[in-house]
Amino acid sequence: MHPDRVLILGSRGMLGRAWTGLLTAHSIPFDALGRDRLELEDMDAVRALDVASYSHVVNCAAWTAVDDAETMYERAHAANAQAVGLLAEACAQADTRFVTYSTDYVFDGNADSPYRVDHPREPVNAYGRSKAAGEELLDRVGSGGSPWLCIRTSWVYAPWGKNFVRTIAGAALARPELRVVNDQRGRPTSAEGLARSSLALLRADASGYVHATDSGECSWFEFASEIVRLLRPVEGVATVHPCGSDEYPSPAPRPAYSVLDISETESLIGPMTPWQAALADVLRRLEP
Ligand SMILES: NC(=O)c1ccc[n+]([C@@H]2O[C@H](COP(=O)([O-])OP(=O)(O)OC[C@H]3O[C@@H](n4cnc5c(N)ncnc54)[C@H](OP(=O)(O)O)[C@@H]3O)[C@@H](O)[C@H]2O)c1
């Protein structure tokens, strides 16, 4: 279904900004709300949203602070579950297509081959539990087919915002050596590529759960090594060393293996971009 008037939520986040850029480039009319105009923890504000005026509502807003969710679960649950359920219901009633995003962290991380879309949810941290709770509320909306599209993704980065690529690029120019964990594997995903894949999925009439990431897989150490390799022409770039997750204890446990199976998505919209190619493109345009 071709979007003819879109409402973007979370327009100042990495993905929200990628979506507004994409819609502008395609001359698709849209309105965009940042957190200052819609607070997802405020259920009255969420209920008051006029979703009927749009062909599509694309929810890029979420509680994404993984470690903070451990101590502020109720707030993470409000934004990532309750609000998502309310938005999906309101959109279903208004015949507005609802698009929202979920995460590789809904899975347990114990697999050794990519997680298929219908793999059971078994999150290992509070952020993952809040996103899985959002998915469970989505499951209750719509009978028969799903009137919503929930796109699970992983390891998102962009030329803007707070993300691993900008952190490593900054650190690599400031320090002689970096130690990066080599025992967590996943699929890096460019936010701009994800917005393009999302639009292609809408145009292909996809619904229910889908996985969209860049293709290939790596550990955080391999990801950091590629960032540094691409920065190399600049003098004084750090050397990267592998280490174990035990060197960086964090409040929220991370899944060891979180590669999402993207084969169904690729059969619908064609091959995803290899992560190294997407990374090279973003590094050329990294914002200071
Ligand atoms: N980043 C990743 O690695 C990753 C991985 C898997 C899935 N995802 C999912 O992908 C989607 C897009 O995330 P992103 O990568 O673009 O993250 P992001 O850059 O952190 O953007 C999230 C946006 O949501 C807003 N937000 C947070 N809490 C809010 C609230 N209570 N009410 C309204 N807005 C709120 C933030 O606003 P403020 O900045 O003003 O707080 C921010 O603009 C999310 O559903 C996320 O869970 C992300």
For ligand 1, atom 42: residue with the closest CA: 13
In degrees and rounded to multiples of 5, residue 253 shows phi and psi of -65, 145
Q: What is the pLDDT of residue 142?
A: 77
**Which tokens belong to 94?**
């208004």
**Domain ranges within the chain, ordered by starting residue:** 6-158+189-216+260-273
Ligand 1, from 38, 64, 149, 259: best to mutate by most atoms within 8 Å of Cβ? 64
* Alpha-carbon distances, residue 24 vs 97, 191, 202 (angstroms): 19, 16, 17
In degrees and rounded to multiples of 5, residue 80 shows phi and psi of -90, -15
Terminal Cα distance for the chain, rounded: 37
Q: Directed axis angle between helix 220-231 and helix 164-174, to 10°? A: 60
94-120 per-position pLDDT tens digit: 999 999 999 999 999 999 999 999 999
Ligand 1 nearest-atom number relative to CA 15: 16
29-47 per-position pLDDT tens digit: 999 999 999 999 999 999 9
**Which tokens belong to 23?**
């819609």
Cβ 75 under 6 angstroms from ligand 1: no
Distance from Cα 237 to the centre of ligand 1, integer Å: 30
**Which tokens belong to 245?**
């997750």
Query: How far apart, in whole angstroms, are the C-alpha atoms of residue 35 and residue 46?
Result: 12
Torsion of CA 216, 222, 224, 226, to 10 degrees: -70
Question: In the predicted model, what is the mean pLDDT of residues 14-19?
Answer: 98
Distance from Cα 182 to the centre of ligand 1, integer Å: 25
Active site residues: 127
Ligand 1 nearest-atom number relative to CA 79: 31
Q: What is the CATH number of domain 6-158+189-216+260-273?
A: 3.40.50.720
Query: How far apart, in whole angstroms, are the C-alpha atoms of residue 84 and residue 61?
Result: 10
pLDDT at 143 over 70: no
251-283 per-position pLDDT tens digit: 999 999 999 999 999 999 999 999 999 999 999
**Which tokens belong to 123?**
């999150």
**79 DSSP assignment:** I
Distance from Cα 193 to the centre of ligand 1, integer Å: 16
24 or 3, higher pLDDT: 24
Distance from Cα 194 to the centre of ligand 1, integer Å: 14
Least confident of 104-113, 187-196, 232-241: 232-241
Query: How far apart, in whole angstroms, are the C-alpha atoms of residue 279 and residue 157?
Result: 9
Cβ 190 under 6 angstroms from ligand 1: no
User: What's the residue count for the chain?
Assistant: 288
Query: How far apart, in whole angstroms, are the C-alpha atoms of residue 213 and residue 188?
Result: 7
Task: Name residues whose C-beta falls within 8 Å of residue 87's C-beta, 6 or more positions apart in sequence.
Answer: 9, 46, 49, 51, 57, 59, 98, 100
Pairing of strands 218-219, 185-186: antiparallel
The helix (H) or strand (E) run that includes residue 48 is helix 43-48
Nearest to residue 252, comparing CAs of 72, 90, 81?
A: 72
| Predicted TM-score of the model (pTM) | 0.97
